């Protein structure tokens, strides 16, 4: 008996096809989607960038590892394909990383290069899934290498305030890459100013980080509130070295720290023209891939001198008139701190009672250190938490001058003259704190904490000569990171996640949340109940400090590029800077 049915030639595998199967691609496609979603979606979710910053940083890498496991164990590729694919990916990745811009190596290769390669591998598997093995593995490797090679076109300028890497063309200028040298080459110096500078320091209007009390309160005249009709007048703008230092101001002179090539530089500028009066340079460079290069701390003007603390842990006293070194102390070495803090030393020095005080974060009792302001000799030290980017702060607490130091362990209240611990309030945080404690009245202190922890209010009291503290509230409605807070008339203003917010100081409850300024820094204009924000994108924004609603009055574009530095207002002069440029504007006054 015979059958009329004959087999369809197309349904019969050829001799070569009989030895291999099409790839099982659905797991790879799921992983491609997961990698892309984890990499790009969190920045668009309110609050996710600060609370879940690790998702775009580590989850794409985890997806990449799972993709390799799929390729080796579940792809249906033949064993020679799997091994050649693995070896080829490793070789291609290594070559591409070596050829990439220096800023794209290290951590960024695991953040971007490897996940791109795995996305390319997954898509290549889809395109070549039914090809013969040699063609298939060649096609998959080509797609993976092509995807990774996109990083050859890029360089990194660190991260934004939302923990997203800031990528630019490979051929663009990096922050502080040398434009300052060209800019300052033809700029006239201002010689013979030493006596005038010394005199100006006696009544410095803005003597250090966030002003005299580190609270960010400025006494400015009443400003016009329509900057489109009456824009701020640009007095000067110039390229500067990299770094996140702010300005200290005394009379017609402004002081800042910068990174210029291999040197940390302290510069004194003429406030009217932007010309350099003097510079002091020391061979040292701090750089890391997320925050970028340069010093973080702001100079302090006190005792007729300029005190600076470098990102690498060197404290120095300079002559205010000339920039000559009086003394230097390597407090990193003295404190035994190893290694450097991840983001570099960021605490600005505090000068009080002829002592200069710095956060060292060293082992044992070398957490906070005090040195003789005249000679640089060590005077006292005390233990504190090992992770802090906050600065020592002098405040009135229960009528007494008290040194406040906020760290990952909590808040220390110290006698500024002896270093004796008056109160050790523990609120441990598995991370870092980078903001200043905010004192309200003389007994309430606000402790800002990043990520999902929020802000806590404590009340300090005294019993039997001992200070104690009780928690008033902890609010997750103000989860700031490194954008400072402003307390004013019973309310607290600052960045919650990625939006500007206001909470009630009595309860910690939110009254409003609106306005996107990135991780910009704010000043309170006390006399007019206004808040001036130097936004992360370089805008300067004027808000009304109104607890009932977000009221943006006016704004203008002051700088280009990522701006994390604190602004300064002295009279009607506004000083702003970032990692590439600085500018001085005359703000329009109200009639």
Q: What is the pLDDT of residues 58-105, one digit of tens each?
A: 899 999 999 999 999 999 999 999 999 999 999 999 999 999 999 999
Residue 319 · residue 305 · CB < 8 Å: yes
pLDDT mean across residues, the chain: 92
Q: If you average pLDDT over residues 563-567, what whole number do you get? A: 97
Beta bridge partners of 283: 263
- Nearest to residue 256, comparing CAs of 584, 590, 25, 586? 584
Out of 42-51, 87-96, 201-210, 532-541, least confident range: 42-51
Please state, in angstroms and rounded to a whole number, the distance separating the CA atoms of residues 279 and 286.
Answer: 19
Please state, in angstroms and rounded to a whole number, the distance separating the CA atoms of residues 573 and 451.
Answer: 34
pLDDT range class, residue 512, cuts 50, 70, 90: very high
pLDDT at 185: 55
Counting DSSP H helices and E strands in the chain, the numbers are 10, 35
Element (DSSP H or E) covering residue 305: strand 305-309
Please state, in angstroms and rounded to a whole number, the distance separating the CA atoms of residues 564 and 296.
Answer: 10
Q: Six-digit token pair at 13?
A: 């595998």
Residue 51 has pLDDT above 50, yes or no: yes
The pTM is what? 0.89
Residue 446 · residue 485 · CB < 8 Å: yes
pLDDT at 347: 97
Q: If you average pLDDT over residues 147-154, what whole number do you get? A: 96
Q: If you average pLDDT over residues 25-47, what whole number do you get? A: 87
Please state, in angstroms and rounded to a whole number, the distance separating the CA atoms of residues 372 and 353.
Answer: 9
Residue 50 has pLDDT above 80, yes or no: no
pLDDT at 40: 83
pLDDT range class, residue 3, cuts 50, 70, 90: very low
pLDDT at 1: 44
A 10 A CB-CB count for 357 gives 31
Please state, in angstroms and rounded to a whole number, the distance separating the CA atoms of residues 404 and 415.
Answer: 9
Please state, in angstroms and rounded to a whole number, the distance separating the CA atoms of residues 365 and 355.
Answer: 18
pLDDT at 55: 85
pLDDT at 9: 46
Higher pLDDT, 2 or 476: 476
Residue 494 has pLDDT above 90, yes or no: yes
Residue 451 has pLDDT above 70, yes or no: yes
Q: If you average pLDDT over residues 238-254, what whole number do you get? A: 97
- Nearest to residue 208, comparing CAs of 253, 244, 252, 255? 255
The DSSP code for 164 is -
Q: If you average pLDDT over residues 5-34, what whole number do you get? A: 72
A 10 A CB-CB count for 111 gives 21
In Å, how far are 231, 369, 404, 409 from 428, measured between CA atoms? 46, 21, 16, 4
pLDDT at 164: 81
pLDDT at 12: 45
The DSSP code for 206 is B
pLDDT at 288: 87
pLDDT at 245: 97
Q: Six-digit token pair at 62?
A: 């985890």
Please state, in angstroms and rounded to a whole number, the distance separating the CA atoms of residues 414 and 418.
Answer: 8
Q: Which residue has the tokens 């960045």?
A: 495
**Share above pLDDT 70 across residues of the chain, in percent, rounded to a whole number:** 92
pLDDT at 2: 46
Please state, in angstroms and rounded to a whole number, the distance separating the CA atoms of residues 468 and 102.
Answer: 51
Q: Six-digit token pair at 352?
A: 């009080």
**Share above pLDDT 90 across residues of the chain, in percent, rounded to a whole number:** 80
Which pLDDT tens digit goes with each residue over 160-205? 887 788 899 999 877 766 666 655 655 556 667 899 999 999 999 9
């Amino acid at each position: 008996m015979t059958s009329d049915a004959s087999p369809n030639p197309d349904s019969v595998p050829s001799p070569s096809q009989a030895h291999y199967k099409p790839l099982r691609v659905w797991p790879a496609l799921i992983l491609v989607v997961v990698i892309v979603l984890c990499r790009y979606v969190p920045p668009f979710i309110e609050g996710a960038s600060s609370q879940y910053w690790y998702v775009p940083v580590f989850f794409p890498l985890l997806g990449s590892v799972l993709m390799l496991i799929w390729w080796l164990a579940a792809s249906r590729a033949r064993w020679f394909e799997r091994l050649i694919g693995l070896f080829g990916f490793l070789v291609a990745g290594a070559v591409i990383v070596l050829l990439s811009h220096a800023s794209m190596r290290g951590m960024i290769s695991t953040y971007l290069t490897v996940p791109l390669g795995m996305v390319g591998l997954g898509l290549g598997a889809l395109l070549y899934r039914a090809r013969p093995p040699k063609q298939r593995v060649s096609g998959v490797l080509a797609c993976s290498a092509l995807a990774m090679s996109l990083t050859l076109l890029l360089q990194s300028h660190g991260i934004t305030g939302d923990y997203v890497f800031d990528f630019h063309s490979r051929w663009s200028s990096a922050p502080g890459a040398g434009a300052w040298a060209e800019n300052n080459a033809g700029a006239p110096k201002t010689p013979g100013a030493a006596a005038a500078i010394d005199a100006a320091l006696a009544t410095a209007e803005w003597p250090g980080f966030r002003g005299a009390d580190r609270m960010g309160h400025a006494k400015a005249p009443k400003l016009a509130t329509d900057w489109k009709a009456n824009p701020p007048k640009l007095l000067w703008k110039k390229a500067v070295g990299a770094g996140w230092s702010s300005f200290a101001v005394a009379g017609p002179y402004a002081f800042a720290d910068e990174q210029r090539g291999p040197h940390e530089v302290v510069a004194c500028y003429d406030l009217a023209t932007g010309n350099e009066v003097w510079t002091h340079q020391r061979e040292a460079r701090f750089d890391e891939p997320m925050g970028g290069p340069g010093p973080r701390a702001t100079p302090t003007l006190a005792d007729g001198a300029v005190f600076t603390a470098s990102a690498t842990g060197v404290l120095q006293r300079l002559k205010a008139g000339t920039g000559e070194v009086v003394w230097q102390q390597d407090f990193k070495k003295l404190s035994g701190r190893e290694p450097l803090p991840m983001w570099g030393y960021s605490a600005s020095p505090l000068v009080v009672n002829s002592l200069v005080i710095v956060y060292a974060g060293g082992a044992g009792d070398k957490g906070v250190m005090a040195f003789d302001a005249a000679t640089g000799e060590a005077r006292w030290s005390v233990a504190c938490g090992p992770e802090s980017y906050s600065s020592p702060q002098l405040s009135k607490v229960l009528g007494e001058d008290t040194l406040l130091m906020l760290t990952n362990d909590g808040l220390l209240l110290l006698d500024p003259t002896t270093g004796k611990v008056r109160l050790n309030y523990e609120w441990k945080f598995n991370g870092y704190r980078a903001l200043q404690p905010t004192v309200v009245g003389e007994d309430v202190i606000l402790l800002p904490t990043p990520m999902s922890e929020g802000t806590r209010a404590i009340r300090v009291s005294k019993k039997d000569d001992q200070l104690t503290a009780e928690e008033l509230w902890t609010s997750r409605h103000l989860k700031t990171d490194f954008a400072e807070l402003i307390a004013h008339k019973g309310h607290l203003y600052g960045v919650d996640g990625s939006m500007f917010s206001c909470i009630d100081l009595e309860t910690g409850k939110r009254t409003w949340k609106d306005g996107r300024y990135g991780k910009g820094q704010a000043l309170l204009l006390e006399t007019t109940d206004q808040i001036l924000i130097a936004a992360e994108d370089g805008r300067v924004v004027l808000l009304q400090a109104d607890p009932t609603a977000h009221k943006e009055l006016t704004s203008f574009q002051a700088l280009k590029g990522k701006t994390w530095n604190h602004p300064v207002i002295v009279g009607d002069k506004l000083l702003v800077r970032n990692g590439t440029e600085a500018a001085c504007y005359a703000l329009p006054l109200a009639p």
